[in-house]
Amino acid sequence: MIETFQAVLPHGITLSCRASGPVGAPLLVFLHGFPEAAFVWDGMLEHFGSRYRCVAPNLRGFEQSTAPAAPEAYRVKHLLADLDALLWQLGASESNPVAALIAHDWGGAVAWTYAAQHPVMLSRLVIINSPHPATFLRELQHSPHQQAASAYMNFLCRPDAEALLAENDFARLWPMFTNMGAGDAAREGGGWLTDAVRDRYRAVWSAGLTGGCNYYRASPLRPPTARDSAVMQIHFTPEFVRVKVPTLVVWAEDDIALPPALVDGLDEFVPALRLVRVPGATHWIVHERPQLIAREIERELGA
């Protein structure tokens, strides 16, 4: 059974959370992306809740979590502070690390950096279609294919992005689900985008889209343009991006926004890496292939 609670963090942020499983059991934490919310992990919470304490927070800016108005409030240092405070509040520590931090999309961006900076807090890291910052930077700087695939990020930085996304029953958002892959996997969300799921997304989006758009506004990792080429000046030091935590990466290979080149050379930055490639799945693999995701997480937890 899934429960909800409000995690009031000491630095003034409150995260609305979904959870399952007994308090005190080994901890699994699930981080969502954009334009999603914590509910996308409900199937995993139900699957693992008999053996683990499972918690899926809504990140700041999403659903009922605190949503600061300023884009600067969504810089990575603030997102890391939220995650660190939440993990400590849930009972994790250096001597009692999280069994696995599991993340997709923007949640993965937070998880990659957290794992690099706080490795003792995690026993394992599971990333699902979220590029490592070093490979993403490489591709944004040097790959026209990736620059074109990520062009939508610059749209989401527009000051009127949230208003445009909300128009006509979120007419610009639904294609993010149906146009993020090729072939059968993309058509109507591969069958997963039912009326009931649409209603859940409508409820989340109706709570506000500014927070989600602010993730893009706050990040310099977006394709260069004639007016904004800040990404070309970025350089990551090895200690900032090297992940020593044992890591599973599940990569849906029909993700048109995040091409498979993003996992090329990943073992340079993640020495304890297990990479699972999934042909025919799109960016929304958590919806499309929940049994595969659960199976691979099970395998990782038992490793």
pLDDT single digits (tens) 231-290: 999 999 988 999 999 999 999 999 999 999 999 999 999 999 999 999 999 999 999 999
Residues 139, 147: Cα–Cα separation, whole Å: 8
Degrees to nearest 5, angle at CA 214 with 145 and 11:
130
Closest listed residue to residue 119, CA positions, set 267, 241, 255:
241
What is the total count of domains within the chain?
1
Count CA within 13 A, CB hemisphere, residue 82. Answer: 27
Residues 189, 167: Cα–Cα separation, whole Å: 21
Beta strands in the chain (DSSP E): 3-8, 14-20, 27-31, 53-57, 100-104, 125-128, 247-252, 273-278
| φ and ψ of 6, to 5 deg | -105, 120
Q: Looking at residue 188, what is its pLDDT?
A: 43
85-100 pLDDT, tens per residue?
Answer: 999 999 999 999 999 9
Closest listed residue to residue 289, CA positions, set 298, 278, 299, 302:
278
Closest listed residue to residue 86, CA positions, set 117, 113, 55, 64:
55
Q: Looking at residue 186, what is its pLDDT?
A: 47
| φ and ψ of 183, to 5 deg | 65, -150
Q: Helix, strand, or coil here: 127?
A: strand
Are the beta carbons of 69 and 92 closer than 8 angstroms? no
CA distances from residue 96 to 26, 86, 112, 262 in whole angstroms, order as listed = 9, 14, 20, 32
Q: Looking at residue 190, what is its pLDDT?
A: 63
Residues 14, 172: Cα–Cα separation, whole Å: 29
For residue 241, how many other CB atoms are within 10 A of its CB?
A: 19
Q: Whats the size of the chain, residue-wise? A: 303
Question: From its phi and psi, is residue 181 left (phi > 0), alpha (psi between -120 and 50) or beta?
Answer: beta
Tokens 């146009």 sit on residue? 179
144: CATH: 3.40.50.1820
Q: Looking at residue 191, what is its pLDDT?
A: 87
pLDDT means per 10 residues in the chain (303 residues)? 97 98 98 98 98 98 98 98 98 98 98 98 98 98 97 97 98 90 51 95 97 97 88 92 98 97 97 97 97 98 83
Q: Looking at residue 243, what is its pLDDT?
A: 98
Q: Looking at residue 181, what is its pLDDT?
A: 61
Domain that holds residue 165: 3-301
